[in-house]
Amino acid sequence: MTQSELDGLIAAVHPPDAGARREAEARWDNIAKPLGSLGLLEEFVVKIAELTGDANVSIDKRAVAVLCADNGVVCEGISQSGSEVTMIVAGNLARGMTSVCRMAAAAGVDVIPVDMGMATRPAFGGLVDCRVADGTRNIADGPAMTREQAEAAIMHGVGIARTCAGRGYRLIATGEMGIGNTTTSSAMASVLLGLPPESVTGRGAGLSDTALERKIEVVRRAIAINAPRADDAIDVLHKLGGFDIAGMAGIFLGGALYRIPVLIDGFISAVSALAATRICPAAACAIFPSHRSGEGACSAVLGALGMHPLIDAGMRLGEGTGAVAAIPLLDMALAVYRGSSSFADIGMEAYGKL
């Protein structure tokens, strides 16, 4: 992806539709209930209308894209398990057996598992092949990937959004699977937010105090060795990130391009969304936060995005589980939006805005 191609992508993201927003707001205000009483549920529906240019909001066909990739930093002992677990979970995703698969089945969501670059090529089917390389390099020794690889991963994510749009999907939830990716996302968050590593680095899957200190030191070393430029999100991605993070950033960009709402999952996904908005600020129109992760730095990232999530349940599983959990809430909001009585229907004077 050349600079001109990136500039073209950014220029192609057109502004939200203010007319559709006003129509959706008017529809909410005409429903026989106190104005704004469904809070963020109302705002999410209005924002989807604004994004798509259609106040007749539908998310009836939806998917969760789970991006699988390995991270060379695992060799630093910053995780409870080794990279082989990424492949094991990817296989279970392909067979519909993981936590997000069961939650997605309950919520009527299709699961799209993607190989962005696991350490070895899978010997089974069922994964979308967006493979960039056999995992990234160790960020504590040098850049995770080349800039060209980061750009390729971003464009794979844009392609996932394009394919989903072509197949009629109305909503994409983001998910990831990759041992070590709370370390890569913590390093990115530290740089993008201008915060010290210890304030954005959490326990991941449950590290001990000693292991957490080692993880913080690895993040600190990675930033010092790579000297990423905070004003260049792609530079931060290629030096400190992972193929999964870059791919999700591309999905958020693609959501803005193809007018599909994209749900942030947890901390890692939120860092991807932050990178996407640093690449293209207008991409924020397509980004919707689902939940506040149990990883402490998630709040800081969502704060930087200026976004408030629907759920605060202490979840930190990943795979897109938090994003999928939010979808039934949006279904309920749309049930009210589409089917409720108006003030005129019940013979009541409409509430006014004070």
Annotated catalytic sites, by residue?
Answer: 319
Q: Which residue has the tokens 């464009």?
A: 155
- For residues 171 and 161, is the Cβ–Cβ distance under 8 A? no
CA distance 157 to 241: 15
CA distance 56 to 20: 9
In a 13 Å sphere around the CA of 240, the CA atoms on its Cβ side amount to 34
CA distance 67 to 59: 21
| φ/ψ (deg, to 5) at 273 | -65, -40
Q: Is 209 helix (H, G, I), strand (E, B) or coil?
A: helix
State the Rg of the chain over Cα.
20
Q: Which residue has the tokens 């990937």?
A: 145
**Could you write out the DSSP letters of every residue in 86-103?**
HHHHHHHHHTT-SHHHHH
